[in-house]
Amino acid sequence: DGVTEVLAHHTENLQDKFFEIPCSEDYDSHKRFEGCTPRKCGRGVTDAVITREEAGRIRRIAERGLSLGGSDGGASILDLHSGALSMGKHFVNLYRYFGDKIQDIFTEEDFALYRDVRQRIQQKIAQVFGISCASMYLTKPTFFSRINSTEAKTTHDEYWHPHIDKVTYGSFDYTSLLYLSDYTEDFGGGRFVFMDASSNKTVEPRAGRVSFFTSGSENLHRVEKVHWGTRYAITISFTCNPEHSIEDPVLT
């Protein structure tokens, strides 16, 4: 019905904001892991976990990696874990494609910062949802995204469709997004939208802002189309199932 409420303005510096909502039944069709599988569901936003300076450093990692490729359409992906990099209308494996040259692109310090940021986001999610940090595992896909206003060329470029992470990816129990650029300054459009029955609730990206939520259909969401500029973010996702865990990326 067009009713929209802004949960987090880009001009705000939020310590912690959390909205609890009833859990969907999505988790019932998967194996439950006591002390981790969501029993308390909701969505949170914080500007107090990652600094804007750290977000700038993380963004530069994304920029360097994505400069090696990039989609022909508006949405490009870089996954440091699997090596997946958008290249034209396809993906290549960054590590196989560039081989030893990869060490001219990234440093050990880059990967150490990436790990540190991931750990702090994991700790925040565990704290807010009242679960053990050790019972959550990083899962795939966890990736950088660069979105601009270029027309979509393949279905991979169509990032704006509403979706449910638990349905799309299966392994996801908790999803987080770390924003690496600023709404209205670096890009227009591109807000994150939770699509509730009564209204849309938006999060306006701000460098260093972390948005996190349980991954079931209680958090149906989409991203608005980017109208101008470039929007950078990283999606970091967690599972309760150790069989779906992945390791932190290593510069080899």
Domain membership of residue 247 (yes or no) is no
Q: What is the pLDDT of residues 173-212, one digit of tens each?
A: 999 999 999 999 999 999 999 999 889 999 999 999 999 9
Judge whether 121 lies within some domain. Answer: yes
Q: Is the pLDDT of residue 15 over 90?
A: yes
Is 249 part of a structural domain of the chain? no
Active-site residue flag, 32: no
Domain count, the chain: 1
Residue 250 lies in a domain: no
Cα 22 to Cα 41: distance, rounded to the nearest angstrom: 6
What would the pLDDT profile of 95-144 be if each residue is shown by its tens digit? 999 998 899 999 999 999 999 999 999 999 999 999 999 999 999 999 99
Asked whether the beta carbons of 215 and 239 are under 8 A apart, the reply is no
39 falls within a domain? yes
pLDDT of residue 172: 97
pTM of this structure: 0.96
CB 240 within 8 A of CB 37: yes
Q: Domain for residue 158, yes or no?
A: yes
CATH number of the CATH domain containing 80: 2.60.120.620
- Contact, 191 vs 221, CB < 8 A? no
Residue tagged active-site, from 59, 118, 206, 231 = 231
Q: Which residues form the domain of 49? A: 4-241
